[in-house]
């Protein structure tokens, strides 16, 4: 694993990002819509929507809610199923310059394994991000909350694929560091942290939850201080690369996660308000990278981390 002088990031087992900034799972679909607005060839990676063995229609609306300080979602893993992603979408992924990492989810160990096997060595798919951290489906957090369960799942998927295996961690676990360590021991090549925080919004008039299922996942700048603490815990627990997410909106907030030892970042909720954010962050980090390689005393090398 390395952050090379040319700005690329080698996460291991063949997954090389052309720059450290990726589009976080679930906030850019499979790249097709956002690819009409921004040049996907310039992002470091596209992490796809969580994909399951069979198509899912997701949860009933409303599925998102704004809060004073962040966004709540309860999409419920709407996706076209792994067969369609492999057969119909991957040929388009193969034409993209950015690495496409398929985010995989399931209701059981067998479902995760089935997805990994189906992906096999599909041209265009550079790695698997194992989503053991979805708060919006029944039992979505079961694997991610318990180090033993996380290890069991990771080992089974590891045995089913030799693609790069990144495990996406939930901050809703009691000890996220213990889960990170467990998946490292079970063959994960990298970890990404964090997924959304379990949250709820109550309508102040009806005094009922806004989201039909009651709870959802909170994301955006609101979670950044929490995510920074979680990423620091994960960084201390593992030796494999850590990819950070949680309220990153600009080059300063991305730099804060990188300063903790994360080697790359994922940009999520901000895509809904500013689809160009990832490209600007990538350009800004490249500029900082250049400055850092210049002799000490070069101005503009550090600003305080925003909170
Ligand atoms: C609408 C929405 C859908 C998401 N879907 C997924 C998903 O399918 N799989 C996953 O691992 N994470 C999913 N996430 C979590 C994000 O990838 C990211 O980890 C989280 O939102 C924190 O980053 P952010 O604050 O920059 O959004 C989703 C987030 C949002 C807002």
pLDDT of residue 305: 60
- Ligand 1 atom closest to 63 (CA): 1
Taking a C-beta distance cutoff of 8 angstroms, is the pair 22, 266 a contact?
yes
pLDDT of residue 69: 85
C-beta contacts of 4-7 below 8 A and 24+ residues apart = 5/293, 7/285, 7/286, 7/289
pTM: 0.95
Euclidean distance between CA atoms 64 and 80, whole angstroms: 20
Kindly state the tokens that stand for 186. Answer: 């079970």
- Residue 227 — very low, low, confident or very high, per pLDDT cuts 50/70/90? very high
CA separation, residue 203 to residues 74, 102, 154, 170, 214 (Å):
16, 35, 39, 26, 11
Among residues 134, 154, 256, 305, the one annotated as catalytic is 134
Ligand 1 contacts CB of residue 122 (under 6 A): no
pLDDT value at 79 more than 50: yes
Ligand 1 contacts CB of residue 271 (under 6 A): no
Ligand 1 pocket test, candidate residues 30, 134, 268, 275, most atoms within 8 A of CB: 268
Q: Is 154 labeled as catalytic in the residue annotation?
A: no
pLDDT of residue 141: 72
Share of the chain above pLDDT 90, in %: 88
Q: Which of 263, 181, 195, 271 is nearest to 226 (CA)?
A: 195
Ligand 1 contacts CB of residue 50 (under 6 A): yes
Residue 237 CB neighbour total at 10 angstroms: 18
139 Ramachandran zone, left/alpha/beta (phi>0; psi -120 to 50): left
Residue 175, strand partner residues: none
Q: Among the residues of the chain, which ranges form H helices?
A: 82-84, 90-94, 109-119, 142-145, 147-160, 176-185, 224-237, 251-259, 270-273, 277-293
Euclidean distance between CA atoms 283 and 264, whole angstroms: 14
pLDDT of residue 91: 98
- Residue 296 — very low, low, confident or very high, per pLDDT cuts 50/70/90? low
Mean pLDDT of the chain: 94
């Amino acid at each position: 694993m390395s952050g090379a002088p040319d700005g690329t990031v080698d996460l291991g087992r063949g997954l090389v990002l052309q720059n450290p900034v990726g589009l976080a799972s679930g906030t850019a679909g499979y790249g097709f819509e956002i690819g009409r607005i921004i040049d996907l060839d310039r992002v470091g990676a596209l992490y796809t929507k969580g994909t399951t063995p069979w198509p899912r229609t997701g949860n009933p609306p409303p599925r998102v809610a704004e809060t004073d300080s962040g966004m709540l979602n309860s999409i419920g893993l709407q996706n076209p199923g792994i067969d369609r992603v492999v057969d119909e979408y991957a040929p388009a992924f193969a034409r993209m310059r950015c690495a496409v990492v398929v985010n995989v989810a399931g209701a059981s160990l067998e479902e995760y394994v089935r997805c990994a096997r189906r992906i096999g060595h599909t041209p265009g798919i550079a790695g698997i991000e194992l989503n053991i951290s979805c708060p919006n489906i029944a039992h979505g957090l079961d694997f991610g909350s318990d180090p033993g369960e996380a290890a069991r799942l990771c080992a089974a998927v590891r045995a089913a694929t030799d693609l790069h295996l990144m495990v996406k961690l939930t901050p809703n676990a009691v000890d996220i560091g213990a889960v990170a360590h467990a998946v490292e021991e079970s063959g994960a090549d990298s970890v990404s942290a964090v997924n959304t925080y379990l949250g709820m919004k109550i309508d102040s008039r009806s005094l009922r939850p806004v989201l039909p299922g009651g709870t959802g996942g909170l994301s955006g700048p609101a979670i950044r201080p929490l995510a920074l603490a979680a990423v620091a815990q994960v960084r201390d627990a593992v030796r494999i690369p850590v990819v950070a997410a949680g309220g990153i909106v600009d080059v300063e907030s991305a730099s804060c996660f990188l300063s903790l030892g994360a080697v790359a970042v994922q940009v999520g909720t901000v895509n809904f308000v500013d689809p160009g954010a990832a490209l600007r962050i990538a350009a800004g980090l490249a500029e900082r990278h250049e400055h850092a390689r210049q002799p000490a005393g070069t101005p503009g090398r550090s600003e305080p981390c925003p909170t």
